[in-house]
Amino acid sequence: MAGKLPQVPGELPTLNDWENHLTTIFPEVRLKRYMEMRGADGGPWRRLCALPAFWVGLLYDDESLQSIIDMTSDWTKEEREMLRRKVPVTGLKTPFRDGYVRDLAEDVLQLAKNGLERRGYKEVGFLREVDEVVRTGVTPAEKLLNLYETKWQRSVDPVFEELLY
């Protein structure tokens, strides 16, 4: 930072260097000139458009956005932190308030579908894979773990074929 690297004496970092460095940080949401939602940015081709469609349905539609705000406005910091910690482990089976995250997912998915429908661009089909996950309660991670334990005989190598584009 002080320009004392022997490989590049006197060279000082620039704002461009800082911006480049920030691209190596992977939080759930990364603020750029837009909000980059990183929660599920991988997976098979058939799910590739699901995440953007989900967020568009929620955030680009005033009615859906207000419903999400109303739904989450009384969540405590502790509840949000618990969800952040537990959902990656227990998925839709995570207990939350008087039900499970799956119940919440059903409501939120419906809001996203409604928001997409109101846009009128026939984008709801992009949520088919998410709809299947919520309907069955089985996440993609749980499917892969099951394959790992059964068909793949505890080998990770087949995952590369399974998720190949």
CA-to-CA distance for 106 and 137, rounded, in angstroms?
10
Per-residue pLDDT tens digits of the chain, which is 165 residues long: 899 999 999 999 999 999 899 889 888 888 888 888 877 767 788 888 999 999 999 999 999 999 999 999 999 999 999 999 999 999 999 999 999 999 999 999 999 999 999 999 999 999 999 999 999 999 999 999 999 999 999 999 999 988 887
CA-to-CA distance for 145 and 57, rounded, in angstroms?
30
The answer to whether the CB of 165 falls within 8 A of the CB of 44 is yes
What crossing angle do the helices spanning 128-136 and 50-59 adopt, rounded to 10°?
90
